[in-house]
Amino acid sequence: MTLIESIKSYFSKKINNEPTGNTPEGICPNCWGKQEWEGEFYEFMKGSKNDKRDETYNNFINKVVESNIDGITIQKDTYTCKTCQIKNA
């Protein structure tokens, strides 16, 4: 399930008075599951001839971080996920 599908499902359950969690699944980065990778890591593993899975996983993470993360900035405000109770800056 993608993030958009998760949000749609959450609000359709709210409209129909069905039980839901405090937040849609996948909103908190600590609650993300396999769907948030959009299959990239799993395609990477499938196409890789490397037998060392840990090394392959670390290379994938390094690739994602290098292309998407500029740096860490400290902010005054923090947010707490109501599902997993972990604070995010």
Task: pLDDT tens for the chain, 89 residues: list them.
Answer: 677 788 888 888 888 988 887 777 766 655 555 444 555 555 555 555 555 555 666 677 777 777 776 655 545 566 666 666 777 65
In a domain, 7, yes or no: yes
Domain of residue 60, residue span: 39-70
pLDDT at 2: 75
In a domain, 50, yes or no: yes
Domain count, the chain: 2
DSSP readout, 6-44? HHHHHHHHHHTT----SS-TT-STTT--GGGGTTHHHHH
pLDDT at 57: 63
pLDDT at 34: 45
pLDDT at 35: 45
The answer on 43 and 29 residing in a single domain is no
The answer on 47 and 21 residing in a single domain is no
